[in-house]
Structure 1
Amino acid sequence: MPALRAYFSDLGRMRMLAGDPALDFANTLHWRGGSQVDFIPSYSALVEWSLPAGLLTEEEVGLLQGQAPDNPDDAASAHRAALYLRRIWRDRLEHRVSSPRMDETMQALRTLLAEMLGDGGLHSEKVPGGNSDPGSRFMLPVRRVALAIASLELIPIERRIGRCEGDPCGGFFLDSSRSKPRRWCSMDTCGNRAKVREYRGRIRAEEVTGD
């Protein structure tokens, strides 16, 4: 089996369990210890996360991290764009897991993806500068995420997206199970916690009823 990818940040480890970088991106807003944690709180974090996600190369990460401190406004603008994309994408996913029908979340996502991918700025040669817009180079990780989302959402291949039943996890994942639907982002975390809660609940019920 391939090694499990993970992003190691100041907030701790984020395991990439979703089976697709677009869903891993949605899961960067994550519940942990009863509170919501944002694993990309800055442009630098977005760039670092993009490496284990498979969306940027080490060279691209080095170039962007080296240039961002000298271009704080452009980097901040790209980070805001990433957070906006994540919000629209999560809205779409939350609707998709409950209903496959097209609705306003699909239309909003398609419009945003068209805007982000329209100029074709997806390649590494955009990063060092050259003839490209100096500010647009910092959008590279955002456009790569947008391309991953478009590949997952817009290409007509049947792919089942599930949502972790762990409370309050709710992480998204590709469900490739062939028998019963996958219920957890990971059996060794949310799955085990749920089973422990179920077991304790049965014990308490038996104590009350005297069975």
Structure 2
Amino acid sequence: MTDRFREGAGRLCLDFVRTLRYRGTPEELEELPDAAAWGAWIDQLGPFTTPVKPTDISVRDAWTAREAIYELLTGDVREVVRRRLNRFAAMPVPAPSLTAAGELRWQAPDPAEAMVALLARDALELVTSPEFARVRRCAGERCGALFLDTSRPGTRRWCSMEICGNQAKKSTYRAKVH
């Protein structure tokens, strides 16, 4: 199976926010249009070893959590956002267990709900940590994704050097040649 969703933003909540690709542009693309896509995202990035089968209700909670996380990360900390994230963060999270073979497994009565709780908790931890000062918006022309700049000087510009950084360098090169 190839990875369907982008990873590598530096924190799980940042990868999650990127599921609304090209946010705020005419090309805006919803990567979680239904419960099946939400389940695929959890299967790819979550802690569970068996496929997750979310409901339509849980995908609506995921969208609500994603937008609240985005608002929190971009500085729009209204009371309703704070309360919503606190409510999501208070939900049960996956619990670890050790199998007879000595493997770690994560379990939850409702894995999709537990994933929303993990994401909300990750966002709350991020905005209250020193790392938050290093959350950046991609300088890619259409991208705008958020990422955690872990570079030593703290001057990273793109969410992905392979995609956005490469596109920017190609554009700069073409402008110089023409």
Alpha-carbon offset, residue 31 of structure 1? 2.9
> TM-score w.r.t. structure 2 length?
0.78
Residue segments in structure 1 that go unaligned for 5+ positions in a row: 1-5, 9-13, 69-74, 96-103, 128-135, 205-211
Distance 2:154 2:66 in 1: 29
Alpha-carbon offset, residue 47 of structure 1? 2.2
Alpha-carbon offset, residue 142 of structure 1? 1.5
1:22 maps to 13
Alpha-carbon offset, residue 164 of structure 1? 0.8
Aligned length, in residue pairs: 163
Q: Deviations over 1:160-191 (max 9, x none)?
A: 10111111111111101122510011112111
User: Amino acid of the residue matched to residue 84 of structure 1?
Assistant: T
Q: Deviations over 1:139-164 (max 9, x none)?
A: 2222222122222223x334410111
Query: In proportion to residue count, which structure has more helix?
Result: 1
Cα RMSD between the aligned structures?
2.5
Residue segments in structure 2 that go unaligned for 5+ positions in a row: 96-106
1:88 aligns with 2:101: no
Distance 1:180 1:123 in 2: 33
Distance 1:29 1:178 in 2: 28
Alpha-carbon offset, residue 80 of structure 1? 0.8
Conserved 8 A contact 2:34-2:59: yes
1:42 aligns with 2:13: no
User: Amino acid of the residue matched to residue 186 of structure 1?
Assistant: S
Conserved 8 A contact 2:58-2:112: yes
Conserved 8 A contact 2:158-2:165: yes
2:56 maps to 76
Alpha-carbon offset, residue 91 of structure 1? 2.3
User: What secondary structure, in the 3-state scheme, does the structure 1 residue paired with 2:28 have?
Assistant: strand
1:203 maps to 177
Distance 2:37 2:31 in 1: 7
> TM-score w.r.t. structure 1 length?
0.67
Conserved 8 A contact 1:7-1:49: no
Conserved 8 A contact 1:46-1:141: no
Distance 2:112 2:6 in 1: 25
Over alpha carbons, which structure has the higher Rg?
A: 1
User: What secondary structure, in the 3-state scheme, does the structure 2 residue paired with 1:15 have?
Assistant: coil
User: What secondary structure, in the 3-state scheme, does the structure 2 residue paired with 1:81 have?
Assistant: helix
Alpha-carbon offset, residue 106 of structure 1? 5.5
